[in-house]
Each structure stands twice: as structure tokens, then as C-alpha cells.
Copies of this chain bind each other. A is one copy, B any other.
């Protein structure tokens, strides 16, 4: 019942393609669900994938392309002409069609749309392409069943019959007035149990949760989860019905977010790639080594840097005692600041501006409070433990400066990386920790040099 893609099976398929064993391939594909064929294509070369697709009919091929991994598909789709792509688009819902078109250059998009058979579908797709990808308008499909409030159940069932090939999943019928304004909903269950002569007006439920097209994907997810909805209608600011979002799109959004967060954790932890428990020892070592080497390079640079102050240390060896305190504090503050920003970035929609003055000012104030707290406590401890007073002052001044600078770096770096289109989680990883270590050392020895020698 369940399909698992094994190396052996993939080999068999590849050999069948190489030997053009069409009978075998067709039989195999016939036994699989489209989503499973998609996952096979994800692991095949573009030419092999195209070979398989041309053995299958267009509606099935369309489903398979729809379910492919986006990254693989972006490359794969290039081997088709706009006309061929349009052939498949004919059989795909408008929201999925838009996802595919967004992977093409703008000119190719226009060409594909020109080849789409149904004028209505072409115009639907054009509408949707205008919306931003991660808002309700970008997630919705135009395909849905709507019924005029004045219809009878029989008229409504006729409409479902008429549209049934276009709309594959029907959970309910949206009820609108003569001007297309959303009034309510009738579940299929209610329709099935209602008398055929009943009027929609008498059986529909006006208590409906809808979402405006400009809402973010997060807001849509939150609404659908809170009210346990399997689909939600999308409306414009005047309440006119524009489309609907089905739960499978939301599940995809949630999945992508979860994968993003896992990747962020790996980057923060300094693991360059995701490896599963089955990876061998060499693979596991290789994945971890790059970051360790960066840390090592930083450590060696730190060693050269401290070397400049060798004379200071030989005069006052106690200076060396506080090196770990300084570097660890810089590292901790840097990771805290950048993690907060990385999470805010992950949770905010792309349109929000993170670069606000108030955000920086706040981060700065927090740094000052924590800097004062930490350096005071350390000064007190050093005083109690009978450390030399001048050294105690140097350590606390350096700590305070390190906290401030590490906070600023931890706040600015992820935002800057994000602006540059680089994953901001990098800023919470070993690279910045290493940079903060060096920064802390520099401050410490410079402060010491200033206070002791001038």
C-alpha cells in the first residue's frame, strides 16, 4: 500500500528507460500514485523524466509535475516548450499553475499563458500572478463552487456537475449574492441531506470565516488551524469572493517552515548539511569539519593577536585568567541577539521592514542594561576575591564594551545577511561566534593597554 523509493527500484527504472522498455515502464507507473511518480522523477535526470512523462497521458502528467519538488522542477521545466507546459497547465488548478509559472522567466510565463486553452483559466492565472506569493491571494485557487443565494439545491447540484471536472476537491459550496459578495457556506453533507427543492437561502450557514487576500500566509494558517477548517474563502476588501485556500496548501506552508527552522538549527550549530542517522563516519565528519576549521582559524588569529601583548602578560599573568570570561560573554551575547533576530525574520512576512530605528534603539538599551549588570557583578566578585583593583576595572570595562558590541553585531549581521539574500541563521552560527571572540580579545587587551600604560 505504501510506496518507498529504494535505490534498487530507481536503478530498475533507469535501466528500463535506457533500454526503452516502454511496456514495463507504463505498467509500473500505472500501479503508482501520481505523487509517488513525482518522487521518482525528483531523483531522475531531466531527460529520463521527460521520457517517462511522454509515456503517460497529459492529465496524469500534469498531476505528477504539480507534485514534484520545486527545486528539481525549476530545472526540469526548462526542457519543455511554452506550448508543452501549457498542455499540462490545462489540467492543473490555478494556484498550482501559478507556482509552476513563477519558476519560469517572465517572458516564458506570458508565452505559456497564451497557449492555455481556456480563456477563463488564462485570465485567472494572470490575476493570481499579480499577487505576492506568501499572502492569501498568492495561496488561493480560483477553482471553487459558488452558488447564488436564490438557487435551489437542484440548481446547485447542476452547477457542481458542470464544474466537477475543474474543481477536484469540493468540501462545501460558497453562497454569493448577485454581485458576487460572499454571504455564507453550505457543506456538501447538508446539501446531500437537503430536499432537492429546498432553497440555498434556507439551508446556508451565514456564519463563515473568510480571509482578505492581502493577509499573510501565517495569518491564514492561524485562522484555519484555530477554526479547524479544511478550506477558507478569500475575499477582497469589499467582501467579494475571489478564491479559496485548501488545507493541503497550508500543510505545505507549515512543512516548509519546519524544514527552514531545522536548517537554521543546523547552521547555528555549525553543521554544513543535513545528514541522517544512517550516514557513515566519513560523511558525518566531513559535514562538521568546515565550521570547526573556521573556528580554528579564528582561534589561531586570536593567538597571534594576544601574542602582540605578550609583554603585558609576562608582567601581569593574571590578565590571561579572564580571557575565557571575555570571549564566552561575547559569544553568548552575540548568539542571543542574532537568534532573536533570526526568529523574528522567520516569523515575519517578507514585506515587513526589520531595519527600524526603534528596533536598534531597543537592542542597544537591552545591551546597556545587561552590560551594566554583568560588569557590576564581575567587578564585585573580583573585589571580594581580592583581585588587583586595576585589573578588576579593566575586566569590567572590557566586559561592558564586549556586551554592547556583540549585541550590535548580533542585531545588524542577520538583518544585513537577509537583505543580501543569504540565510540570516548564518549570523547565529560559529562564524559570528568566532568573530565575537576576536572582537572581545581586541577590546580586552586594548582597554588593558590603555589603563595600564597611560
Contacts and interface: CB of A to CB of B under 8 A. Distances in A.
A56 interface: no
Contacts of A255: 225, 254
Contact of A335 (B254, B269, B281, B324): B269
20 contacts: A33-B209, A157-B193, A160-B192, A170-B188, A188-B189, A225-B248, A228-B248, A269-B335, A270-B336, A281-B366, A284-B362, A284-B366, A285-B366, A292-B336, A292-B370, A292-B373, A293-B374, A298-B324, A306-B321, A307-B321
A441 interface: yes
A332 B300 contact: no
Interface string A412-454: 0000000000000000101001100100010000000000000
A226 B281 CA distance: 31
Interface of A: 1-2, 33, 35-36, 39, 67, 157, 160-161, 164, 169-171, 187-189, 191-193, 207, 209-210, 223-228, 230, 247-248, 250-252, 254-255, 257-258, 261-262, 264-266, 268-271, 277, 281-282, 284-285, 288-289, 291-293, 295-296, 298-300, 302-304, 306-307, 310, 313-314, 317-329, 331-333, 335-336, 338-340, 342-344, 359, 362, 365-366, 369-370, 373-374, 377-378, 381, 385, 403, 428, 430, 433-434, 437, 441
B328 A262 contact: no
Contacts of A437: 324, 328
A288 B324 contact: no
Contacts of A207: 33
Contact of A332 (B258, B291, B322): B291
Nearest to A333: B292
A192 B157 contact: yes
A225 B210 contact: no
A300 B320 contact: no
B314 A302 contact: no
Contacts of A359: 277
B261 A251 contact: no
Q: What is the oligomeric copy number?
A: 2
A58 B370 CA distance: 51
Contact of A373 (B169, B264, B289, B362): B289
A170 B157 contact: no
B193 A192 contact: no
A400 to B, nearest CB: 12
A303 B325 contact: yes
Main DSSP-derived SS at the A contact region? helix
The 8 A-B pairs of least Cβ separation, nearest first, read A299-B325, A269-B339, A320-B320, A303-B321, A302-B324, A313-B317, A228-B248, A285-B369
Given A1-B210, A254-B258, A362-B284, A271 B340 contact: yes
A164 B288 CA distance: 56
A300 B317 contact: no
A372 to B, nearest CB: 10
Contacts of A377: 293, 296
Contacts of A374: 289, 292-293, 296
Contacts of A339: 265-266, 268-269, 271
A432 to B, nearest CB: 12
A336 B291 contact: yes
B270 A299 contact: no
A10 to B, nearest CB: 17
Nearest to A189: B170
A252 B225 contact: yes
B370 A288 contact: yes
Contact of A370 (B251, B285, B299, B366): B285
Given A170-B188, A288-B336, A323-B324, 19 more contacts: A33-B209, A164-B193, A188-B192, A225-B255, A265-B342, A268-B268, A270-B335, A270-B336, A277-B344, A277-B359, A281-B369, A289-B373, A289-B374, A292-B333, A299-B378, A302-B321, A314-B314, A327-B328, A332-B430
